[in-house]
Amino acid sequence: MRLPFSDKQFEEPKEILDDELLETITLDGEFVFSLDCPYGSAGVVRVDDVYFLWCDSIVGPFRDFASALKWSGYEITDASESITCTELTADGVARLVPVADYVSPGYEIEINGEIWRVCDQGSLVRARAR
């Protein structure tokens, strides 16, 4: 199935309110990115070749994964437990998902099954494989 979106809709993503489209995203969507915290998860869902943000609501559409991730504002906080991503390697996720300024060096998060640690400069470094 090809989802029908105009160029303008891709340029101005917004909350999806159409019940039929919400059902399609919910039933046919594949989570390609999930950021898990104790209070829930946020992520990116792909339906065919279109991406949507999934959190308290569903927002989109996005032409590609990188656009969705950039628009999302997702970041690693001191409540983030793990990230699973089928679109990128753990290295790619560590480069693209920013760490919040207040996260202390030494904080660890699991990315695609590997443990990563926040270093003194505030970026992520591989700590160990799981």
What is residue 95's predicted lDDT score, i.e. its pLDDT? 93
> Which residue pairs from 89-97 have beta carbons closer than 8 angstroms and sit at least 24 positions apart in sequence?
90/114, 90/116, 90/126, 91/126, 94/123, 94/124, 94/125, 94/126, 96/66, 96/69, 97/35, 97/69
pTM to 2 decimals? 0.89
Band of residue 1 on the pLDDT scale cut at 50, 70, 90? very low
> 35, exposed or middle or buried, with CB in 10 Å at 0-12, 13-18, 19+?
buried
Q: What is the pLDDT of residues 29-44, one digit of tens each?
A: 999 999 999 888 899 9
pLDDT at 2 over 80: no
Q: What is the pLDDT of residues 42-68, one digit of tens each?
A: 999 999 999 999 988 999 999 999 999
